[in-house]
Amino acid sequence: MSKIQARQRPIGYLSERLLVVWDLAIIALVAINLALLLFDSLYLVGPLNDAFEAVLPRAHAAYQTHIREHFVEIDLGFVAIFLLDVLLGWAIAIAQRRYTRWFFYPFVHWYDVLGCIPLAGFRLLRVLRVISLMVRLQRLGVIDITRWPLYRFYRTYYGVVMEEISDRVALNLLSDLQSEIRDSEQFTQRVSQEVIQPRKQALVEEIAGRLERTVDKSYAENHHEIHRYVSALVSRTVEENAELKRLRRLPMGDALAESLERSLTDVASRVVHEAIDGLRSPSFHTLLSELVGSGIDAWLHVDAKTDRVTQQVMIDVIELLKEQVAVQRWKSELSPDRDAASSPGASLDTLREARHTETASAATRASAPGRQ
C-alpha cells in the first residue's frame, strides 16, 4: 500500500448505490456543462453566429436572452454543484480513511478542484472528472467500458502508437550501444577484468560442480552399459593377443585363457568404478577446479584479434535484437491472416542491409594499421 493511501473502511450496499446514482448525475451534469461551453464557444465565432441567426432566428434570440446574457450565473450554478461534489467526496474519503492524512484528497483529485475555477483554461479539466467517474463506475461493475467500440478503438491504436514509439526508442538505443562497442578500444578487456575476473572463483566452482554432477549422473544411469563395453573390449583384446592364442593350444589352455579374461574384465571394471568414485574426492575436485581455472584464464586472455572477434559477436547479437524489436507485432494482431512475410519483411530487409554494411565497414577499420 502506498504512503498516501490507507486501509479503506467498507461502506454499506445502500450507500454505495446512492454514490453510484450521484456519480451518474455528476457525469450527466458535466456532459451538459461541457456541451454548453462548446456551444457557447462556437456562438462567439462571428460567421457561425450569423449563420445560426439566419437559420434559427427564434432559437438564436432565445439563447441570447436566456442563456448568453446569464452565462456566468449558469456556469456558477454548475460550479456550485461540482464544488459540492468535491466537498462530499472529501468528506467520504475522511470517513472511510481512504488516505493517511485528511488533507490529501484535494491533492489527489487536483483536476476536480481546479475544474471548479470558472475560467476558460480550467473548465477543460472537467473532462478529467468524467473520466475518473467512469473509471469508478467501471470498478464497481455498473458499466463495462471494455465492451464499448470507442474503448476498443482507443486500446487498439494506443497499443500501435506505443509499440511504434517504444520500438524506435529501443532501436536507437541499440544502435548507440553498437557504436559504443565498435568505437571502444578496451571494451573486451574491461569486461574481462571488471565483470568476469571478480567472479572467476564462483564460475570455477559452478563449472567444476556441474562437471562432477554430470559425470556422476551419467555413470549412475549407464554403468551397466559401461561394464558391458569394458567386458567386450577386454574380450576382443584377449582374442587378438598372440601370446594368449599360443596359450590356448596348450592342454587346459582354454580354461586358463577364459580365467585370465574374466580376471582382466573384473580388474578393468573395478578400475573404472574406482575412477568414477574418485571423482567425488576432494583431490579430484581441486584438480578439476585448477583445470577449469586455467581454461578461464586462457579464455580471458585478450589480444587485438580476440578483441575484434568479441566486438563483432556482440554487435551481431545486438543486431539480432534489433531485428526482433523491429517486428511489428500489431500487424499480426490487427490482421491474423496476413502473410508472415508482410510482418517482419520490409523493415527487416533494410536492417539486414544496414547490418552487412556495418559489418563490412567494421572489418575494413579493423584491418587498417591504425586500428591494430
The reply to whether 136 and 235 lie within a common domain is no
**Does residue 211 lie within any of the structural domains?**
yes
For residues 57-75, average pLDDT? 90
**Does residue 291 lie within any of the structural domains?**
yes
pLDDT at 45 over 70: yes
Amino acid at 228: R
Number of domains composing the chain:
2
- Residue 5 sits at φ, ψ, to 5 deg, of -80, 145
Least confident of 4-13, 50-59, 282-291, 309-318: 4-13
Mean of the per-residue pLDDT values of the chain: 77
SS3 5: strand
Q: Which three cell numbers stand for residue 152?
A: 476498443
Residue span of the structural domain in which 287 resides: 195-326
Helices (H), 327-371: 329-334, 345-367
**Does residue 254 lie within any of the structural domains?**
yes
**Does residue 301 lie within any of the structural domains?**
yes
**Does residue 154 lie within any of the structural domains?**
no
The reply to whether 28 and 121 lie within a common domain is yes
**Does residue 187 lie within any of the structural domains?**
no
The reply to whether 207 and 319 lie within a common domain is yes
Residues with Cβ within 8 Å of residue 259, at least 6 apart in sequence: none
State the residue for C-alpha cell 580365467.
Answer: 259
pTM of the model: 0.46
The string of pLDDT tens digits covering residues 123-154 is 888 888 888 888 878 877 778 888 888 888 88
The reply to whether 212 and 109 lie within a common domain is no
The reply to whether 139 and 246 lie within a common domain is no
The reply to whether 129 and 228 lie within a common domain is no
State the residue for C-alpha cell 573390449.
Answer: 233
For residues 84-94, average pLDDT? 89
Domain termination residue (choose one: 309, 326, 343): 326
Q: Which residues of 314-332 are buried (b: 16+ CB within 10 A; e: fewer)?
A: bbeebbeebbebbebebee
pLDDT at 339 over 50: no
CA separation (Å) from 195 to 52, 188, 206?
75, 10, 16
**Does residue 110 lie within any of the structural domains?**
yes
The reply to whether 212 and 134 lie within a common domain is no
**Does residue 292 lie within any of the structural domains?**
yes
Residues with Cβ within 8 Å of residue 97, at least 6 apart in sequence: 6, 7, 8, 9
